[in-house]
Amino acid sequence: GARVRRLGRRASAMYSRRKLKHWRRRKNELEKMGMRYNEGRYKLSCVVRQDTKDHVYCCALNTFHPAHADKLATTAGPRAYVYRLTPDGGVKLMQCYVDEDDEEDYFACCWCASAVPETSGRPMLAVAGGYKGVVRVIDCVARVVRVNLRGHGGGVNDVKAHPLRPHLLLTASKDESCRLWNVDSGACVAIFAGEFGHRNEVLSVDFKPGVDPYDASTSEPGDGEDKSVGQGVGQVLDGDVVFVSGAMDNQIKVWSTRGYPGLARRSDEW
């Protein structure tokens, strides 16, 4: 036992000498180039410690409105937090929402925005989904749950808002499906599963950027599609949503609603 301890101390001392030698060599190299050793290195500006028994599975900045670009949403256990990033590099807690079910465990969060004209100026909508399979859309201005999106038969692993139409949400679930939601109507627009779906829980989803579901000029009609409804070559049937998904079946899938013209737009009326 004593010999093992002596060998351990000797190995530690040898490692420390090698590390010190490397540090001195690197310092000399930088000094020859006119740079200091600490120059250009990253530094930690702030640390926020949440409840030690809950993992922080997700964090997301608000990218849908410049006025709220400093707002950060995080999820841990049955809680969703909203922080503000301060100019000095710090973080200030603004709000905390606690789920009524203590067994809830939020895995994913994001920000979204309403498309309804009278509320379009209030993009502070935070989204959280997790173990119970319920997606909660929280109005951080009114400080209430705006809508609960129910339908998944398993936990929600990921949520994403459409970059151009942020009232459209995409969710990935343990029930092997992806779902498209309309936050304003509270409706499930489409379910992506079944014969061509994943064979294990879906872990991640994301929208294809630059494709507007309400735009009719983003791609060409495919063979067999009806071109007699005012849609010429070089145009897409109104309502095309394109996204990708990854799952525990080791597959990546690309999805599109191209065969359902106007699906996203019609969901505004549901």
pLDDT digits (tens, 9 = 90+) for 92-142: 999 999 999 999 999 999 999 998 876 555 668 999 999 999 999 999 988
Name the helix (H) or strand (E) containing 16.
helix 2-32
Strands 187-192 and 242-247, bridge-based pairing: unpaired
pLDDT recorded at residue 152? 97
pLDDT digits (tens, 9 = 90+) for 142-162: 899 999 999 999 999 999 999
In the sheet that holds 156-161, the strands lie side by side as 156-161, 168-173, 178-182, 187-192
Q: What is the pTM of this model?
A: 0.77
Strands 187-192 and 202-207, bridge-based pairing: unpaired
Q: Is 29 helix (H, G, I), strand (E, B) or coil?
A: helix
Contact 129, 107 (CB under 8 A): yes
pLDDT digits (tens, 9 = 90+) for 158-193: 999 999 999 999 999 999 999 999 999 999 999 999
